[in-house]
Chain A
């Protein structure tokens, strides 16, 4: 299947700093990527839909000024957590649709963010 690469896998930062997470489609072009967040023992919550060349579409309750999404190319989407606070500590996962047209998603390996 298609490969989605996500970096870094783990980040520890101080409160108030910004953290950038990268998501790359390695062997296909992804016009749409999705960013999810997962708290311990909870499900994946969709944060936003990242669209290449246009603004991201955020889910209700997600602060777009806090979670900046940039999808400048067909293979790269980035999520920046601005002014991170301890409550932002979570597992962040990106995903991309199957390039062959099926509706399944391929996931990156995830980023565990810990804000001290």
Chain B
């Protein structure tokens, strides 16, 4: 069974620090990877997508992908209290249908 694993946390960081969120996946042939942010009681919103090895930066967010290690991470620089949420890692498990498999999510707490 294809799996996506995340540490549930909570991960607590002070305001202004770098938050590092990690994710591993089991299906070696996966090609597309996504990070979603979910606030309590709300639906997920897309933060980043990454398709090739290396780093991808978008504002305060950097996604890192290492397909050899089956590892994807999300760095949040200058963390703000408003970044406090659950971050879901998602992996495309079927290129034809586009369905995503989600990790359990990591809860991030940014303390003022």
| Residues of B in contact, count (CB < 8 Å) | 23
| Residues of A in contact, count (CB < 8 Å) | 26
CB distance from A109 to the nearest CB of B (A): 5
Q: Which residues of B contact A (CB under 8 A)?
A: 8, 32, 34, 41-46, 49, 88, 90, 92, 95, 97-105
**0/1 string, A9-39, CB within 8 A of B gives 1:** 0000000000000000000000010101000
Which of chain A's residues has its CB closest to B101's CB? Answer: A46
CB distance from A22 to the nearest CB of B (A): 15
Determine whether A54 belongs to the interface, using a CB cutoff of 8 Å to chain B.
no
Which of chain A's residues has its CB closest to B8's CB? Answer: A41
Q: Which residues of B contact A6 (CB under 8 A)?
A: 43
Q: Which residues of B contact A42 (CB under 8 A)?
A: 104
The 8 closest A-B pairs by CB, nearest first: A107-B43, A43-B104, A110-B43, A44-B102, A43-B102, A103-B32, A97-B98, A93-B43
CB distance from A30 to the nearest CB of B (A): 11
Q: Which residues of A contact B (CB under 8 A)?
A: 1, 6, 32, 34, 36, 41-46, 49, 57, 91, 93, 97, 102-110, 112
9 A-B pairs whose Cβ atoms sit less than 8 Å apart in the complex: A36-B102, A41-B8, A43-B102, A49-B97, A49-B99, A103-B92, A105-B90, A105-B98, A110-B43
Q: Which residues of A contact B102 (CB under 8 A)?
A: 36, 43-45
Whether the pair A104, B34 counts as a contact (CB closer than 8 A) is yes
Which of chain B's residues has its CB closest to A105's CB? Answer: B100
